[in-house]
Amino acid sequence: MVRRRAQEVSIVTQHSVCPPTESDREVKGLHVITWGCQMNVYDSARMTDVLRPLGYQAVDAPDAADMVILNTCHIRDRAAEKVFSELGRLRLVKETRAAEGQRTILAVAGCVAQAEGAEILARAPYVDIVLGPQTYHRLPEMVARAARAAGAVIDTDFPAEQKFDFLPDAQAPQTPGGLTAFLTIQEGCDKFCSFCVVPYTRGAESSRPVESVLREARRLVETGAREITLLGQNVNGYHGEGPDGRVWGLAGLAEALAAIPGLARIRYTTSHPRDMDDALIAAHRDLPALMPFLHLPVQSGSDRILAAMNRGHTAADYRDIVLRLRDARPDIALSSDFIVGHPGESDADFEATMQLIRDVGFAQAFSFKYSPRPGTPAAGAPLQVPEDVKDARLQALQALLRTQQDAFNDGTVGRVVPVLFTGHGRKPGQLSGRSPYLQAVHVDGPDALIGHIAQVEIRERYTNSLSGTLIQERAFA
Ligand code: SAM
Ligand code: SF4
């Protein structure tokens, strides 16, 4: 996949953030539509932060917005078509506002913008700004140019400078209620799995320095976060520069984060089996704040397919990591990603995946039919698997995973677990929170518990949640 450029566009090349002028500071509406993973949720919050000094404030609807950002995801099937359909809807909003004498700046961000920037400007010339995931820090400059320029502004560079050096720290947790927060510590990927667009859209792997992560984490805790989820495409491959000048891995970073007063829980996602080192496994044993729940995608249980996917590990390697993790932290619960129908996958390969699932036992998982991404090696590979075969395999695999998820949740019934309460449930007097294993838990309890952890005896399991009773009215953390 190559990065293409439109011709009649203004290309931002400088990395300074323009100081806001007086007229910039009048209050303007900003509406951000976010698709995709938690990293996009985090990025949307950071784009909002970077535009705040220009007077932009979040509004709930695009028709009240002077600027609309569509933050896109390229992972799912027909991603570009979904973007064009949404842009058609936003075009009508823009035209209606224009008829009322109001200007709307329309920006497309994220991985589809990175991969299809020129195509977007060709098919949707009413778009004002196209920006890739590595250039959010240049948004103020792009907005200034879009306001002045007749044509569109495109910036899908992979700049030499680190965007985090130019972005303000996150101002507050991004989730409603503000008790759980995301924090991106690592971006990009050099692993080039056969099926995946990420190395082309997010660029090379890079990690933020330790101090920058700690500063942002402290700020998030000061503004209310009790739980932080560290984000990265290969988050356990984190290798940030430490304050001692040495390279720190995720284990060292997690230890430093665990020392922040008030930060009760730390999670991280998404991990790669190749980067699951001994220090990180030991951190699961030694750091109570590191939650015993790990999303560790394996994709396939067949060594032949894992090699074709260029994953760099075997099914036995994965089983071995799971054993070592369970040795270090016996109650650790696992989640994973699976792809069925990668080119060349035979019935025997698929059965090897089913066997791996039976052997490991997952508390939760995401599963997908392989779908070709233009420009990736697997898209042009021979032996594509017919759709009906993929459908049947996905159904069988999801049925097995569902059984395991139900069994895992059933296993918590009767147990006492610490729950971090994050808000109200749907019924009056009900609180909702999360167990260490990322299960949604509901109890009847006082509002004063929101933001605290309390012990709950789990009584019942529903399809996607648990209910229980408080065995300790007073929060202990
Ligand atoms: N970095 C993570 C890893 O290596 O496991 C995965 C990140 S990827 C953004 C999220 C998931 O989307 C993958 O684990 C994979 O299961 C799924 N995925 C990615 N490309 C896909 C494709 N072309 N077809 C189907 N599923 C895909
Ligand atoms: Fe994509 Fe993950 Fe493979 Fe990187 S390691 S190419 S992000 S699936």
Q: Among 224, 231, 222, which Cα is nearest to 253's?
A: 231
Ligand nearest to the backbone CA of 73? 1
Provide the token pair at 245: 């000048």
Instruction: Provide mean pLDDT across the span 58-68.
Output: 93
pLDDT at residue 77 in the model = 72
pLDDT at residue 25 in the model = 52
| Secondary structure of residue 14 in the 3-state scheme | coil
Tell me how far the alpha carbon of residue 196 lies from the centroid of ligand 1, in angstroms.
6
Confidence of residue 11 (pLDDT cuts 50, 70, 90): very low
Evaluate if pTM is beyond 0.85.
no
Look-up of token digits 């159904």:
395
pLDDT at residue 167 in the model = 65
pLDDT at residue 5 in the model = 30
Q: What is the pLDDT of residues 196-206, one digit of tens each?
A: 988 988 888 99
Provide the token pair at 244: 């001692």
Closest protein CA for atom 5 of ligand 1:
297
Q: What are phi and psi of 460, to 5 degrees?
A: -140, 150
User: Mean pLDDT across the chain, nearest whole number?
Assistant: 89
Is the model's pLDDT at 402 over the cut of 70? Answer: yes
User: At a CB cut-off of 8 Å and minimum separation 6, what does 221 contact?
Assistant: 228, 260, 261, 262, 263
Confidence of residue 164 (pLDDT cuts 50, 70, 90): low
Instruction: Provide mean pLDDT across the span 63-79.
Output: 88
pLDDT at residue 176 in the model = 57
Confidence of residue 159 (pLDDT cuts 50, 70, 90): low
Distance CA 184, CA 270 (A): 11
Ligand 2, CB cutoff 6 Å, lining residues: 189, 191-193, 196, 198-199, 233-234, 272
Q: What is the pLDDT of residues 205-235, one digit of tens each?
A: 999 999 999 999 999 999 999 999 999 999 9
Is the Cβ–Cβ distance between 205 and 249 less than 8 Å?
no
Q: What is the pLDDT of residues 116-130, one digit of tens each?
A: 888 898 999 999 999
Instruction: Provide mean pLDDT across the span 293-317.
Output: 98
Ligand 1, CB cutoff 6 Å, lining residues: 75, 195-196, 198, 233-234, 270, 272, 297, 299, 337, 339, 368, 370-371, 373
Is the model's pLDDT at 76 over the cut of 90? Answer: no
Give the position, in ligand 2's atom list, of the atom nearest the Cα of 272.
5
Q: 44-53, 153-162, 376-385: which has the minimum mean pLDDT?
A: 153-162
Is the Cβ–Cβ distance between 359 and 320 less than 8 Å?
no
Mutate to test the pocket of ligand 1, among 190, 269, 339 (most ligand atoms within 8 A of CB): 339
Confidence of residue 150 (pLDDT cuts 50, 70, 90): low
Give the position, in ligand 1's atom list, of the atom nearest the Cα of 191.
4
Q: What is the pLDDT of residues 245-280, one digit of tens each?
A: 999 999 999 999 999 999 999 999 999 999 999 999
Measured in whole angstroms, the distance separating CA 97 from the mean position of its chain's CA atoms is 33
